[in-house]
Amino acid sequence: MEDVNLIKFLAVGAVLFVCGVLCMTTKRNAIGILMGVELVLNGANINLVAFSQYGTLGLDGQVMSLFVIVLAAAEAAVALAIVLSFYNNHRTVDVDQATELSG
């Protein structure tokens, strides 16, 4: 386990983050976008935990990640409610159809 170090964790986090962002930019399905958000958040969590283990952050990093998880859950609940409402109105979850907020 010698070769397991901070860089590798960060690399995994970065990959997860980029995957999440790409998912958010490319998916037209609202649920897909939510999944991308989860990926981004979890990428950030990995970073926090990694810094907790290898950096000077200590337990703070883990606490922060716990907060992020809680926030993600809350965010998911709100977002799913919006999606449901959107679906009720438009019979679709395609975000490209949602242009009511355009200027």
9, 19, 27, 38: residue in contact with another protein (rule CB under 8 A): 27
Site mask, another protein, residues 61-100, x = CB under 8 A?
----------------------------------xx-xxx
Selected range binding another protein among 21-29, 45-53, 56-64, 75-83, rule: CB under 8 A:
21-29
DSSP annotation string for 32-65: HHHHHHHHHHHHHHHHHHHHHHHSS-THHHHHHH
Task: Give the residue from 103, 68, 86, 71 showing the smallest Cα distance to 30.
Answer: 86
The helix (H) or strand (E) run that includes residue 94 is none
- Please tell me the distance from the alpha carbon of residue 77 to that of residue 96, in angstroms, as a whole number: 21
Determine the size of the site formed for another protein (CB under 8 A): 15
Does residue 101 touch another protein according to CB under 8 A? yes
Does residue 33 touch another protein according to CB under 8 A? yes
Residue 57 main-chain phi, psi, to 5 deg: -75, -35
Binding residues vs another protein (CB under 8 A): 21, 24-28, 33, 95-96, 98-103
